Structures are given as C-alpha cells and as structure tokens.
Amino acid sequence: MQPIFSRNEDYNKIAFLNWRIEQYSDILNMVNIADGFMKSAIELSNFALTNNREKVADILIFPILTNANHSIELYLKAIMWMLNKKMGEELKIEGKHNIRQIYATVRSKIKSYGGGLSLKDFTESTLGLSLYIEELFEKTNATPKEDKMDFSRYPFSEKYVNHFYVDEIGNVEVDLENFISRFTEIHQSLDRISEYLYYIELNQEQDF
C-alpha cells in the first residue's frame, strides 16, 4: 500500500505541506494555516449546499464548524502575536481555545498599542465575527470555566455531558447560505487585518 506522504506522478494531484510554510516565519505560518482552515469550511459549506439531496450537510456541518472556529482562533492568536511584537512584549500567543476570551484580549491590546489600527476600526471590521462569537457561546451554554469549544468535535464534554444539540427536542439548524456569506466576510476581515499588521505595522517583506 502506497504511503499517504508520497508523490503522485501528476503534479496537480499533490498537496505540499511546506510550500506556504517557512522555517522562520512563525506568525505568517499561523496566518496561512488559518486561511486554509477557513477556506476549507467555506468550500465544504458550498459543497454541502449544492449536494444536499441525501442530507450530507447534516454530518458535514461538524467539520465545517470545527474548521471555522479553529481558523478564528489561529487568526486572532496571530494578530495577538503581532500586537505583542509591535509593543515589544515577550509574550507571543495567549489563551487556549476560548475564542471569545481571545477576541477580548486582542481588543484590549489594540486599545493599548496605539498604532494605525484603532479599536473603532477593529470593532467595525469584525462586527460579524463578534456577533457570531456571542451567538455561539449563548447557543452552547458556555461558561467562563467551560468554553465548550469542543462541541463540534465531540458529542459530549470531557465529563461526558451531552452538548446542547444532542438533548435538544426540536431541530438545531444552520443556514448554509447565511453561513457562507458571514464567514466569507469574516475571512476577508481577518485576512485584511493580519496583512496590515504584518506588512505595514511590522514592516515585514511580502513573501507570498
């Protein structure tokens, strides 16, 4: 049996793990992987939307949400790292997987750093993201001690308590058209902010 990590004779049938990843570009590597997770969520949503006669969306929604949320986490942590670097702090990234907490930390750092990206600009640019995060944490019944960010990776918590959708009597639904529209906007917004901080504020060379 051929190994998974192997070459295909057709160049267009190969995925290169290290073509957009570089040894000394830690922050940019995070942004590129965040980009990949978000694109996969949107592409998979488009596939589910147009090929849903057998209700494949009902099961694809779990990796879709997992990828979207992980992308948000990576983008925000990359932005945080750039802000820390700009302010001369030794910290790189902070927080675990709680994207509401990470988002709040990023807002606090933007308010403090005094650069070209104002808190007002950031808040307006990420309004769609902020609304999603608040909706998500309300829907999952998250608490400060238990963020429940694993809801799309496991049907239950670490304590084997079912996540919100498992015990729900009625339907728990996601509008795929709305999801694609919102997350396309979120993707563009986080990408613009990341590029601005990386290439303008940190004055890094364009290398992709």
The most confident of 7-11, 85-89, 174-178, 197-201, by mean pLDDT: 174-178
Question: CA of 200: how far to CAs of 37, 137, 173, in Å?
Answer: 24, 33, 41
Query: How far is it, in rounded angstroms, from Cα 22 to Cα 74?
Result: 17
Written as one letter, the residue type at 99 is I
Q: Taking the domains of the chain in order of start, what are their residue ranges?
A: 26-201
CB-based contact 196:122 (threshold 8 Å): no
Over 78-95, what HEC string results? HHHHHHHHHCCCCCCCCC
Res. 208 pLDDT band, cuts 50 70 90: very low
Q: What phi, psi does 41 have (nearest 5°)?
A: -65, -45
Q: What is the mean pLDDT of residues 39-50?
A: 98
pTM, whole model, 2 decimals? 0.94
Question: CA of 178: how far to CAs of 22, 136, 194, 195, in Å?
Answer: 35, 15, 24, 26
Distance between start and end Cα atoms, the chain: 35
Q: Does the structure show a pLDDT above 90 at 204?
A: no
CB-based contact 186:72 (threshold 8 Å): yes
- Mind listing the pLDDT tens digit for each residue in 83-139? 999 998 888 888 789 999 999 999 999 999 888 999 999 999 999 999 999 999 999
Query: How far is it, in rounded angstroms, from Cα 122 to Cα 139?
Result: 25
